[in-house]
Structure 1
Amino acid sequence: MTIRAQRGPRAAGRLLACATTATLLATGCGATVEDGGEADTVTVRRCGEEVEYTTPERAVVYEGGSADKLFSLGLADHVHGYVLPPANPPVSESPWAADYEKVEFLSDDLLNRELVVDAEADLVVAGWNSGFSDQRGITPEILDGLGIQSFMHTESCYNYPGHPERVAPLDALYADLERLGLIFGVQDRAEQVVADLQERVDTVLAGVPEGEPVRVFLYDSGTDQPFTAGSQVPPNDIIRLAGGENIFGDLEQRWAQVGWESVVEAEPEVVIILDYGDQPAEDKIDFLKSSPVTAELPAVVDDNFFVLDYNEGISSPRNVDGLEKFADYLAALRNG
């Protein structure tokens, strides 16, 4: 299994934009320093383009993954509020529940321009097509024109037109943490958070047994046609690093609609159920057991279902929680 070439402490760091002026030697990579003054701006890559940021004080975050990234860096005091659509599980279940209590709940709807303007946001953190959207009129370019800074999850840049950036999902998480660390001036904290996450991943890798990977199907939603994970989203890395093989890992996409025929042909041994707040895992399992198309899948016959929390499946520090849990599940399955 070739892992190291796709991850490691320096892989994400190389993605960061660094200014080249001599004054940076005393202030750190990426900082822009006015003559004799304090560093007040930093240039960081946003989906392939170099963007200049000032330190935000009223960030608005969309979905748990965005909030968790900032909270993991100790930045709750810089977050004004969060937008949490119904799919997201309750924030009381988050490791950063106490930080959520410190900031304002703004909406349980989709992200929109009026909301962030009314909130007087100075930074919006979201993903492309998960928060930011041409159709809904809230894009980084539109926000730039309004004088509102934006940060886009690197994992979602795979779909972003004009400034493509393709990074393996966990490396994209590390890049986001380091980039946000630069934007908020907490580089040391970001480096430590990333190092801790990578150490936990290394521990998982060390425990994966030799042998053929377990065939895994991620079931997100859909009855007529299933919605699943391609190669460019965190569950693909979770499956692969835990000792499994995503049966749709050859799809060069993020989330994709596929045919049930392809699922049946792949004969998955395990089904991962992505658990939404508004689409409970139990309902999805019941469907797979009752549908004549899927009832005879090896995973269904053997009752091999693993429930992945929504915030462990989208780009978030909690991806590593999901990896550890799934690796333990596969180990127990192999030993059982």
Structure 2
Amino acid sequence: MSKLTRPIGGVILAVGLLVTGCSGSGGGSGAKGAASAGKGGSAVSVENCDGQKVTFKAPPAKIVTSNASALEILLRLGAGAKVVGTGFPPGKGALPGGLATEAAKVPVLGRTAIAKERLLGSGADTYVETFRPTRGASLTPTPEEYRAAGIQVVQMRTTACAAQRSGPRKDLSDVTDDIERLGTLTGTSKRAGEITASMKKKVEAVRARIGKVPDERRPTYFVFDYDGGTQQPTAVCGKQVANAVITLAGASNIFRTCDSDYQRVGWEQVVGKNPDWIQLAVRNRGGGANDAKAFADAEHFLKTFPATKGLKAVKENKFLRIRSEKITTPGVGNADAVEQIAHTLYPDRFEGGQ
């Protein structure tokens, strides 16, 4: 299997340590990459994936985000006024009312990845990058070009550093680290703490209901990335944050052992593992009927494609309809997805409310 580089520009940022589920290997990165800052306008710093410390003489004032994930976190932190542009903007229906209104005010510098001329000319002092760009990509400014434009790059370690980590991801500590780190950078640490505490509470409530499910009793789970292509499926591997979401929900990702964040696999491998449940993962289409059609199209493919129509999950209609962004990019949606998956797989344990 060859490693797949996700063609999504942008990188997010690491934050303080807060483990939100099973004690896995995710807890270590937060302590190493934690941000530090003084009061008021004093210096603030974070550590990126390569260990390089990024230091600001004062908290960032003009931020560009590479995609909707980082933008949503900043909006939830109350730091939307600092955002002067974004790439991969959130689609219609992706954010709740108030946040959607705020997001609509942010200039869109690129419907997909931001062209480097627009990024360098944005007037930003900070670029928050969710996914590490492909090495040598023409859209990506060089370090020298960033310096000349006065822009410092801060990476969201949950996704930008995924390929560098060791072992599978089993908790959401990297995600909460990213949120708290953004809070430190923008002077919204109190709000960041409230957000991560809420996520932790939600995940712990799920664990209290489902208990410690032994590996051999966990339903097997396949994330069908419909937008990633149907000729050769894209697997979310152990290093991807989706693996943590699936694990915390009491399921077993059928590709948890592949040593990467994403990999191209063959349908014969999916068939060989014959998952108990399949997540129909599609990217936001604008909400409502558009999203519903995308999920229906993904299901129709699995039910009619010769290689998959005989799968156990397909024959038993064991599908979950959860947008890709909720499990593969860092944000509050990760904890929501844990809850949604667990409720679907263990309905008897959630009878009578949470």
Describe how 1:113-262 pairs up with structure 2 within 5 A: 113-129=116-132, 134-138=136-140, 141=143, 142-158=145-161, 164=164, 168=169, 170-208=172-210, 210=213, 212-220=217-225, 221-262=228-269
Distance 1:172 1:151, change over 3 A: same
CA–CA distance in structure 2, aligned partners of residues 234 and 120 of structure 1: 32
Query: Which TM-score applies when normalising by structure 1?
Result: 0.83
Percent identity (aligned): 25
Offset of residue 16 of structure 1: 3.8
Secondary structure of 2:268 counterpart: helix
Q: Per the alignment, in what secondary structure is the counterpart of residue 307 of structure 2?
A: coil
Residue number among 316, 324, 328 corresponding to 2:343 in the alignment: 328
1:104 aligns with 2:121: no
Encode CA deviations 1:212-265: one digit per residue, 9 max, x unaligned.
100001111322211121012222111111110000011121121111111111
Structure 1 distance, partners of 2:334, 2:350, is 24
Report the CA distance between 1:104 and its aligned residue: 2.1
Contact 1:82-1:107 within 8 A present in 2 as well: yes
Asked if 1:295 is matched to 2:304, the reply is no
Point out 4+ residue stretches in structure 1 off by more than 4 angstroms: 10-13, 164-167, 333-336
How far does residue 110 in structure 1 lie from its aligned partner after superposition? Answer: 1.6
Aligned residue type for 1:31? A
Separation in 1, partners of 2:240, 2:147: 27
Give 5+ residue unaligned stretches, structure 1. Answer: 19-29
Distance change >3 Å, CA 42–CA 200, structure 1 → 2:
same
1:284-312 residue CA offsets vs partner (Å, 9 max, x unmatched): 21111101110000000001111121320
Which residue, out of 311, 332, 336, partners 2:325? 311
Equivalent position amino acid for 2:123 in 1: E
Please list every run of 5 or more consecutive structure 2 residues that lacks an aligned counterpart in the other structure: 1-20, 286-290
Q: Partners of 1:44 and 1:93 in 2: how far apart?
A: 29
Pick from 262, 275, 278 the counterpart of residue 268 of structure 1. Answer: 275
- The alignment of Structure 1 onto Structure 2 pairs a total of residues equal to 312
1:93 corresponds in structure 2 to 94
Shift of 1:113: 1.3
Q: Distance in 2 between matches of 1:272 and 1:333?
A: 20
**Pair 1:6-2:21 in alignment:** no
Q: Is the 8 A contact 2:237 2:259 kept in 1?
A: yes
Q: Distance in 1 between matches of 2:142 and 2:250?
A: 37
Tell me whether 195-204 or 240-249 shows the greater mean CA deviation.
195-204
Higher relative contact order (CA 8 A, sep 6+): 2
> More strand by proportion, 1 or 2?
1
Q: Sort the Cα spacing of 1:335 and 1:205 in 2 relative to 1 into closer, same or farther, 3 A.
A: closer
In 2, distance between residues paired with 1:326 and 1:298?
A: 18
Cα deviation, residue 283, structure 1: 1.8
What does the per-residue CA deviation read over 1:169-190, in whole Å, with 9 as the maximum and x for residues that have no partner? Answer: 6221111112112211222222
In structure 1, what is the Cα distance between the partners aligned to 2:179 and 2:137?
28
2:53 & 2:128 partners in 1: Cα distance? Answer: 16
**TM-score using structure 2 length:** 0.79
Look up the SS of the partner of 1:217 in the other structure: strand
Task: Tell me: CA distance 1:77–1:299, structure 2 relative to 1, closer, same or farther (3 Å).
Answer: same
Q: What is the distance in 1 between the residues matched to 2:253 and 2:162?
A: 20
Q: Kindly indicate whether the alpha-carbon contact (under 8 Å) linking 2:44 and 2:55 is maintained by their aligned counterparts in 1.
A: yes
